[in-house]
Amino acid sequence: MKKFSIAIFFLFCIGLLQYCSSSKKAKKTETVVSYEKDVVPIMQASCTPCHFPPGGKKAALNSYDSVKFYYDDLIARVKLPHDNEKFMPFKSKKPPLSDTAINVLEQWKKQDMPK
């Protein structure tokens, strides 16, 4: 009986170690979102020309610092109902951001906005 209990305990420990190591692997495989690789293409596709100097006459969204500064307002506006007058991108200028693009921006914020 003692050998059986030790064997069960040993198998339990192996299972626990495998669970712990698989949890760590899941965290390591999370995609890192960066400004240069992921955010810039969204800004260029959805915010030009209105928010890109020299032609843009709205708050600039063409640099890391400006996107970081206006992030909260940007996210709030792209998530508004499309018929809201503050919704961005402005009516008939560009199509709304996709859920995927919004998720990328939100993930970037969660990851402390890496460059």
Do 100 and 80 lie in one domain? The reply is yes
- Give ∠ CA 35-93-60 in degrees, rounded to 5: 40
pLDDT, tens digit, for every residue of 31-87?
899 999 999 999 999 999 999 988 888 899 999 999 999 999 999 999 999 999 999
Do 60 and 102 lie in one domain? The reply is yes
Alpha helices in 1-115 (DSSP H): 2-28, 40-47, 64-78, 99-110
Q: Of 23 and 57, which is predicted with more confidence?
A: 57
Do 46 and 89 lie in one domain? The reply is yes
- Average pLDDT, rounded, for the chain: 83
Do 56 and 98 lie in one domain? The reply is yes
What's the confidence (pLDDT) of residue 112? 97
Number of domains in the chain: 2
User: What average pLDDT does the segment 24-30 reach?
Assistant: 56
Which residue range forms the structural domain that includes residue 19?
A: 1-30
Q: Residue 10: which residues within 8 A CB-CB, separation 6 or more?
A: none
Do 82 and 51 lie in one domain? The reply is yes
Question: Does the pLDDT at position 12 exceed 70?
Answer: no
Do 84 and 99 lie in one domain? The reply is yes
Question: In this structure, is residue 115 part of a structural domain?
Answer: no
Do 26 and 39 lie in one domain? The reply is no
What's the confidence (pLDDT) of residue 93? 77
